[in-house]
Amino acid sequence: MKNTIFTGAGVAIVTPMFPDGSINYEKLGELIDFNIDNGTDAIVICGTTGESATMTDEEHVECIRYAVEKANKRVPVIAGTGSNDTKYAVELSKEAEKIGADALLLVTPYYNKTSQEGLIRHFTQIADAVNIPIILYNVPSRTGVNISVDTIAKLAEHKNICAVKEASGNISSIAKIAAVCGDKIDIYSGNDDQIVPIMALGGKGVISVLSNCMPFETHEICSLCLENKYDEARAKALSLLDFTNKLFSDVNPIPVKQALNFMGFEVGKCRLPLVDMSESAASSLRESMVKLGLVK
Residues marked active site are found at: 137, 165
Q: How many angstroms from the chain centroid is the CA of residue 18?
A: 23
Please state, as a whole number, how many other Cβ atoms lie within 10 Å of the Cβ of residue 165.
Answer: 25
Distance CA 63, CA 77 (A): 11
Q: Which residues contact 115 (CB under 8 A, 6 or more apart)?
A: none
| ∠ CA 204-207-208, rounded to 5° | 125
Residues 142, 292: Cα–Cα separation, whole Å:
30
CA 74 to chain centre: 18
